[in-house]
Amino acid sequence: MDYLIYISKGIAVIGVIVFLIGSLLTLYRFLIYEYKRLRGESMYLQRDRLRYVFGSYLLLGLEFLIVADIIATLTHRTLEDMAILGAIVIIRTIITYFLDREREFFHESLSEEESRKN
């Protein structure tokens, strides 16, 4: 069962790496958009797209962390440890649900905005 601990931690690290990559890419693009905004260009639609993409990274990272928690549950034998990990999974699942709903809202808004331009 020790190998499951390492697998769980490895998957959790992957989730954190996804968060970091998403954060760095989003920050880079945000800085570019803000520079353009300061030069007088409208960046409303680009910022909404950026939030949509960033939400995708957050959701993917959370999914990795949920899988890591589920695998970690297999290594803990006490009821208290399983209850704590179960609560963490539930909280992360709720966060994932609401982030996904926000992404859907932005996707619909962006699609409507693009159809108005055409």
What are the pLDDT digits (tens) for 63-107? 898 888 888 877 776 788 778 777 877 887 888 788 788 777 777
* Rounded Cα–Cα distance for residues 80 and 76 (Å): 9
Q: Stretch 55-70: mean pLDDT, rounded?
A: 87
Residue 33 has pLDDT above 70, yes or no: yes
Reference 50, options 75, 71, 31; nearest CA is: 31
Q: Among residues 56, 61, 57, 60, which one has the least CA distance to residue 103?
A: 56
**pLDDT class for 62, splitting at 50, 70, 90?**
confident
Helix (H, G, I), strand (E, B) or coil at 1: coil
Q: Are 64 and 18 in contact (CB under 8 A)?
A: yes
Q: Per-residue pLDDT for 38 more than 70?
A: yes
